[in-house]
Chain A
């Protein structure tokens, strides 16, 4: 190792500081690029490819754990020759951060949830997808073909994958009749026996409740809240704080809480319900009268994806009814493809109903799917509270 000398080291390091500052700041914060009027997606103008070429031999995914199971990865690899390398991310925030700078030429696809999609789109980290290359897309449920969390002005930035509602899970021993309203998780009656997810997007659930409980606030979209509406929602959540036993971070945590009878009501996914029921726990879930929020995952294509052909092949593959059914049962969610239901039942009897995949589209109208709260509101004014404020408020509430 050449002897460099202290001064030389200092000079080198200050150059590095200057250079790093240019990149690292932009990279680590994933800003939402703004035009003079409203927001524009930086990559919206990029024309997607018109055909799928030869596979590049590999595919790099950022996925939720359970989204790249051997059950459907192995046949894919055999058929296309694209070797799948999947890295598991644990939160939407991690996904956004890993995908910074268009995936950095490192990653091809990311299975982003609705709370991250718009951050990725407006950060220029994902690019438009050509839906004509995904034949199964025509079989998707209408509300997932071009949902507002992954389609901007008709430009598709990804392929919807699977979804699930955020239901009210409750102990049937404590609630002899199903609770009529979300109000039970804000009620002092069950103090210390409530659990909700530890996620800033949970603010939207409180806003959804207030939409019905306090119509004077005028909330129409729980993800687009003016400062007044936001403050009222935060106040509700601060009232709720002393009633919460724990904010759950993983499904297994919530299952533990219910199974040990530490909590009696909370916000959950049908997966928790079905797992608890499978272990003979006395629980049930429902969507109360105010409706519910829901999450939906999208496979998004990185702007600098090194293997775009393999990426398209993957998106094609996981959209087919068979793989949709396999994944729905494996992970515990609802498929986007409307033809998956009978296959689900053939693989696991009753699973279609268990994940509400047999419900008509009208049922899902009452679900307000996650999308990143932005400062632009539908009314054209720029006075909605953005997600960074949501995060800060959530830290204040739960801290």
Chain B
């Protein structure tokens, strides 16, 4: 579709403005990591690198970070499996109450996390399950499923069934069809869903408070540090380091999603394979 020069200019201006909006606070976080003072005022009076040393040597930060990563990875994998299954189930099925499944699956996001947290805490206590990284993972998977489900089902609704029928007609087994036809179709939805789910899990604080047991994930540590309010620039430093760390995985992930031919000639069934 051709766009006039004016509309192209307007669109790219919008993109620049949105990027500025997205990154200005991130820049603020990075800058205040160099602020000597604990009270964040603008402009900064004294600059220092000590907070980097403090954060690097802080054992609580290290253990919280590692716990968060572990929980997020496992929760995302579980959510990928379960969310995709649910999306396929709902998409294919024609049973009464199909739409209420959509509602049920959205509830973990819609309800305040405190409800999910207390409900899970009670459930674990009753079942005699002691709180550990596994209970954290269960809690996180509960809402990560939604992210994957939403992404996959939106993609499925936009995919024509004829490809799958053709594949079956041509004698492919269910698994082959899934691997060679279905999976490539939903691949990018899975990757972007996984990234969103990972971010949600990595950032979650209230459900985690009730399912973690006597340990802290990174967000719990951050909330505690904000509450304590004594080393706020250390929080900024930690966040900066996490963002820098995540730069590479995101780069890799976006490579994975960029495989679609953006002019996507889906209807003729030809896929731009890598």
Which residues on A are within 8 Å of B, measured CB to CB?
19-20, 23-24, 27-28, 60-62, 64-66, 70, 85-90, 94, 97-98, 100-101, 104-107, 250-252, 255-256, 259-260, 275-276, 279, 331-332
Given contacts A70-B59, A260-B41, A279-B39, contact A20 B228 (CB under 8 A): no
Residues 216-274 of B contacting A (Cβ, < 8 Å): 216, 220-221, 223-230, 232
Cβ–Cβ contact B214 & A65, under 8 A: no
Tell me whether chain B's interface is mostly helix, strand or loop, or mixed.
helix
Query: How large, as a class, is the contact surface on chain B?
Result: 20 to 34
Cβ–Cβ contact B122 & A87, under 8 A: no
Given contacts A24-B126, A27-B122, A105-B130, contact A88 B216 (CB under 8 A): yes
Of A28, A94, A250, the contact of B229 (CB 8 Å cutoff): A250
By a CB distance below 8 angstroms, the chain A residues around B229 are 250-252, 255, 275
Cβ–Cβ contact B213 & A106, under 8 A: yes
Of B40, B212, B220, the contact of A256 (CB 8 Å cutoff): B40
By a CB distance below 8 angstroms, the chain A residues around B60 are 70
Of A27, A62, A88, the contact of B223 (CB 8 Å cutoff): A88
Q: Which residue of A lies closest to B119 (CB)?
A: A24
Cβ–Cβ contact B209 & A94, under 8 A: yes
Cβ–Cβ contact B228 & A66, under 8 A: yes
User: How far in angstroms is the closest Cβ of chain B from A303?
Assistant: 13
Q: Does B38 contact A (CB under 8 A)?
A: yes
Q: Does B121 contact A (CB under 8 A)?
A: yes
Q: Which residue of B lies closest to A107 (CB)?
A: B214
By a CB distance below 8 angstroms, the chain A residues around B177 are none
Q: Does B37 contact A (CB under 8 A)?
A: yes
10 nearest interchain CB pairs? A65-B224, A252-B229, A60-B214, A88-B224, A24-B122, A85-B214, A23-B126, A65-B228, A66-B228, A251-B229
Given contacts A98-B210, A251-B229, contact A87 B38 (CB under 8 A): no
User: How far in angstroms is the closest Cβ of chain A from B126?
Assistant: 4
Given contacts A60-B214, A97-B118, A260-B41, contact A90 B125 (CB under 8 A): no
By a CB distance below 8 angstroms, the chain A residues around B125 are 23, 27, 100-101, 104
Cβ–Cβ contact B227 & A259, under 8 A: no
Report the Cα distance A98→B232, complex, angstroms.
Answer: 26
A selection of 7 A-B contacts at a CB cut-off of 8 Å is A24-B119, A28-B118, A87-B212, A88-B221, A88-B227, A98-B210, A332-B230
Of A85, A89, A255, the contact of B39 (CB 8 Å cutoff): A255
Cβ–Cβ contact A87 & B126, under 8 A: no
Report the Cα distance A245→B271, complex, angstroms.
Answer: 59
Cβ–Cβ contact A87 & B227, under 8 A: no
